[in-house]
Chain A
Amino acid sequence: MKYLIIASLFISLFVGTACTKLDLNPLSSGSSANWYENETEITMALNDCYREIFWFKDDDFNTDDQIQRALQSEVTGNTITGQSGTITNLWLNQYKSISRCNTILASLPRALGTISAAKIDQYAAEARFNRACRYSTLITHFGDVIYTTHVLPLDSAFMVSRTPKADILKGIYADFDFAASKLPTTYAASAAQRATKGAALAMKARIAIYMGDFATARDAAKACMDLGVYKLYADYSTYFLATTKNASESVFMMPRSVALNILFTPYYCQQTVTRNAGGYGNQNPSWDLFCSYLCTDGLTINKSPLYNPQQPFKNRDPRCTKTIVEFGTPHLGFILQPHPDSVKCLNVNTGKYVTNNDARSNSQYASYTALTFKKAVDQSWTTYKIDPDNVIIRYADVLLIYAEAKIELNEIDQTVRDAMNMVRARAYGVDKSAVASYPAITETNQSNLRRVLRLERRMEFATENLRYMDLIRWKLAEVVLNKPSYGMLDPADLRTKIISKGLWFYHGIPDFDSNDLPDFTSWYNAGMIKLLTPKTFDKNRQYLWPLPTTELLGNKNLTQNPGY
């Protein structure tokens, strides 16, 4: 008996651990059942919309502005499929954000009473602004997509079909209009700077112009301009640097921060930084881009008497050398000189001459076009940890959208030229009124002005991820993306065929087509340049991207875009 008592004492020791609770809730995450009930929770849910992952930007590598040595992208190689990571990530991320916005919108009424109706409207406006931006990205890339303004039950999600993009566009407009009517024009400096009325108007103008709805684009852009809160940043070069924060040109942007580990893609830095400065020097300007910059007389290089092919950086629109490093000038601590005979180059910090790895005679992977991007690039890029603002839309874009819409509507008036001249004059560092200091636009003919505008956009927005959508909506993709990209001959050939004939750095003046797009075919046929990569753009299918295969799998009501 004594032992039984001992034993039961012993067992009772275990009893504390013998019956642990089975109703366990997540320890380090919240529960959606009781979320969205107060201002803090709603704000936190809205904060999620401002994560960079949801703000898709098109890759300039898919355009004629950029080369990466002899590589093709999925787009320029015409290999993109519904299984491509680009497609599935883009799609899923947009819908994640849409679903979260829809959840917030559905939950907001629950908070009525704890939060004022005005605040609820403002939060709803923020959610709708974000949702409209997501759908804008979707319809511009996929055409008709799945459109829903509430969270679908699982069963019906397997049965949805595509809504025509024209109908979605109406929803997008409604969201932007609501947002514009309820969002503040500015926030108090001490408050978190969230989406504004101007952002809603600017993004509405952008989707409208992308969809060819010029009247809406015009009106939205005009309304944004009329707010009077945005202005062009004085210096085109420094605007893009990480040191320029929260500029008034940035109509909608999100900050990055090294301290908070919210970085601009390190890999992009590495791809862009020259080989002398320790980067890969892989992501470089194409000759197409370089040749598209006008001369200071406002003419294209094939027409301007100011253009000297042996000094191709001279007398060009200032944005040329602010975007592409001029040979012989310092860049990231070294004098950039890709000439194959420049086997040494000056390290401007030490004053010593070092091996020039940006010349292909020393490094076979130095820029294949000899060109290097300068725009936005400064010494901080060599750390690969930089935090420039993530600008989604800036005022120059609003101005040029306004101009483009009016041109397309053939409402060409001084406001059109003013908008374009503001942008161009800023590049020259002057006011638009200083017409002697820059080639002010005076053109009145619709088709001529259209060409001027398109060149202006190309010069102004190079590297800003806008070129692909421009090519798509202008239907120029089928032209430029069927042209190969070209680069310099290899050093030995280059010396015999180009340098020895005094032609450095390239052959001369290229041909231009009716769209002011340079064409290097004749140079190539003459054996003076090297073909880097053929490109293919199938106009029958590639204006739209394929829907993700996973979306189509379980759903009989969905069809793939043609040609995929």
Chain B
Amino acid sequence: MYESTPIDFNLFSQKPFFMMKIIFFKKKIYGILLLLLTVNLGIMAQNITVKGKVTDQMGNTLPAVSIIVYGTTQGTISDIDGNYTIEAPADGTLQYNFIGYSTQQVSVNNRQVIDVVLEEDLMRLDEVVVVGYGVQKKKLVTGANISIGAEELQRQSSTKALESMQSISPGVNIVQASGMPGEDFKVNIRGLGTVGQSAPLYVIDGVAGGDINSLNPSDIESIDVLKDAASAAIYGSRAANGVILVKTKGGQKGRITVSYDAFYGVQNVAKMAEPLNAKQFIEIYNEEWKTSGKPMAEITDFTTLKHWNQIQNGEFKGTNWLKEIENKNAPYQNHAINISGGSDQSTFALGFSYSSQEGVFGAPVEPHNDQYTFRINSDHVILEKNDMEVIKVGQTLNYRFRERSGVAIGGMYYNDIRNMLAGNPLVPVYNKNGDLFMYDDLVEYKIAAISPRLYNPIAQMVLDRGSNETLNYNLNSTAYLQIQPVKDLVFKSSYGYRMFANAYRNYQPQFHISNDVQLNPGRINQNGGSGYSWTLENTLNYSFDLDEHGFDVLVGQSVEKWGYGSQLNATNANPTFDGFKYAYLDNTDGITAGVTRTSGGPHDRGALASYFGRINYNFNEKYLLTLIMRADGSSNFAPDNRWGYFPSVAAGWILTEEDFLANNGVFDFMKIRASWGQNGNQAIEPGQYLDLIGFDDQQNYRFGPDRSNMQLGGFPDKLANQNVGWETSEQLDLGFDAYFLRSRFQLVFDYYVKTTKDWLMKAPVADIQGAEAPDINAGDVENKGFELGLRWNDNLGGFRYGAYFNITKNENEVTRMGDDSTPIQSNPSVISQGTDPVWRVETGYPIGYFYKYKTAGIFQNAKQIDEWEHGFLQSAPQPGDVIFVDTNGDGIVTPEDKTMIGNPHPDVRIGFGINFDYKGFDFAVSGKGAFGHQIMQSYRSFADNEYHNYTTDILGRWTGEGTSNRLPRMTAGNTANRQNVSDIYVEDGDYIRIQEITLGYDFKKLFPRMPLGQARLYVAGRNLITITDYSGMDPEVGYGDERSFVQGIDLGFYPAPKIYLIGVNLKF
């Protein structure tokens, strides 16, 4: 037997390099050299044929286990039944390798049958994880990373990788932006560091800036999240918000394996909101007017309506608009085929997937999202010498096509869910002919005479908003050349290319739904664009040991350009065909002033040039040190501010490698880590340092008599800021990894303080400057908190079980805002027409906190009002009115008393799960939760639209002493109680949600002879249980006034569905 140190190249002599050259150019010498090398390995024994079977501890056969004759490149892999055959020296050693299992070496000893049981590797310390520009042994990692494998991702029946990450990624906040199919997630790592670009950097197969949503989870081999600054620092200028590295599946040597994974599910609304029915609405409406004591000249109780009698006798209960748009049992499906295989020279992986989802709301124009992906990855060894891949090339390519449509899910003026909640129940959906109830019907039913604000919101959804289609085409590809002239000295040059195209069509016929909701003429909008970007990077990596000192040194350089391509947008009037199918601009007629619009332009262009270096050092794999430096030059900044430098340092100490802790009986493994680093953020619009003259078709002027003849306006539209530079995020991380009880119990803890300095923002500039503010480096934000991850895995005689729990606590605070500390605030009219701004960004508070009046309940009686000494917001308060709090104690209630009434960002998030696995059965539950945050809810325009419906919550209003201490009395549009936004619109958003429950069985157990490696069938339920006090349909409200840094504003949030599904996993 020889020891594991392979060939002893002297690292500091030129000899190997020299030898390589000889190998390259003098083929004849090849055999001699090979001979010389093999001499070292001793005399080769006679080969014999060895057969056997590889199984796991529970007796499951393991296919695709790599088996090599140790010390050679000879090898094979086990087949679908775990069987293998290999030629090996009779006195040789076989090495069995399989991901997730401990590597095992077995001496052949002349045996012809060797069955092997591989043990699951609970600790997996030898596993490598992806770090920037390379991989690192997990054991030696000094940063706070999360590494998620394909298996974990696919455990969830979701077509969205981010959704699958939710419960298993402490410190990564992933919140659905909307529950509508095809909508994205809001992601931030360790809290919001900015009001600008706060999403992490996605690096897909080494190329920065890709879209993780363009991948099917089955395409993904691993996702690695770099949370701390030191880990992320290698990505410098764009890493301020953390980095998510995604690696798509590559090929493996051995026979071709084919897998098919699919599920089909039906989705339904998890929790319905309950709007008032017609009778209830009329009661509440009348109460409003009667109790307000105002004359009711035109305010009758709708007796003039044509269907008044039917309403009275209960024949017409009123329209429940939300129910009307429910799309019951909306299908959700996913199919993925993966094929991989390869030889010693080449490996490949192919993947195809199709997924499709319909929305649970929006019928008859329910949203849908259909997505197809195709992937081909391959690696090829061009030249191999001495067991060393000297020249290697490879490529990755992911293509995604997506087709989707949607309804309106924006702010209060563009939100169909809200419209259904507020839709008046007195209006029918369809007229007697079965057509949508339109203006003429409103007239006939005498509804139009009441107000143009009573109308059919479904007609609006269908005709105005619902006929659209978006097509997206995305291509992500890379190619690399890798040269390894000397063992472990690797030069790699890779080129990344990304391209995208999109096309959108929208159709709106001419309609007259009510006098407030009409469109004339009809119109068609088409827009689209395409673009590409490229990256070229070169790295040189050398890892070597000097006695007990281990080094891994990386230097590299990259250049990148994005924003090539262009986009076009055009709208025209007068469709010549009816129906969305024909929604092409060719099918429109003429040019119509005020409707016909065209625009087109380039994308925001930019470039980045970078140099970086990293040294990973370890002493005896006991003391660890990582140093990183990156320099980035960005086209977003003026030449003098173009370059930013991002250093980091991280250290680790593996205590269990110390003699005094070896075999301590408590820890199997214990590593403590500390890191510090700086990252940058450069995400601003380009050209901020220039004095730009803008043109805009909304800033023209008409001279002369012709109202359609406009003079183009040109104007200094933005103040230049020569000094704008990097936003820097500085982070300190202290943490430890500990494994106990034979590594069955694993604990990871991190404490961090992340300070974003000189954040990039459009600081408000006084209007007297006369132009739009440029981005400036204005303030600081601090995020601090901790993450704790616990995991238990065990195997009791074939009963494998596990559980995990993680908890994240984060505190977000703005610590500085520009020179003058002027807060940034929302626009008015966010939650209802005519209301003041509702959120702010201000020193001393979390980003985007809710800022309004505090209340102290409801005045219950006149005595309470008489004795009240703290001022009122009402001019003449009455019992049933809201008690607004005089927070500054000056005896009157004024706008100065507005204060923080809620924080949209949870203090604490948790993720948890359990899983069992026994004799082919598997069962898993996963869940998540968030605590300590608030949601601001408003489903109606309370001030200007008395015909908006209420939810049944209003039945709990104040109607007399002791009836309510939260909802004030009904008063017609009462300005003070309702128009002054206060915490009566704010609720706690705490929730725990069981995200998925799965029960599966592998029929391979039952029919071991079937020609499949796996034949698992499973059923699962998603979002079946949500525990919350929040009154809305879904407590996970990602919407926030169309701003990335605000969330938790529920204006009629499109909820996540409840799903039942059935799925299969087949392996051939």
Q: Real complex partners, A and B?
A: no
Which residues from chain B sit less than 8 Å from chain A, CB to CB? none
Binding site for B on A (CB under 8 A): none
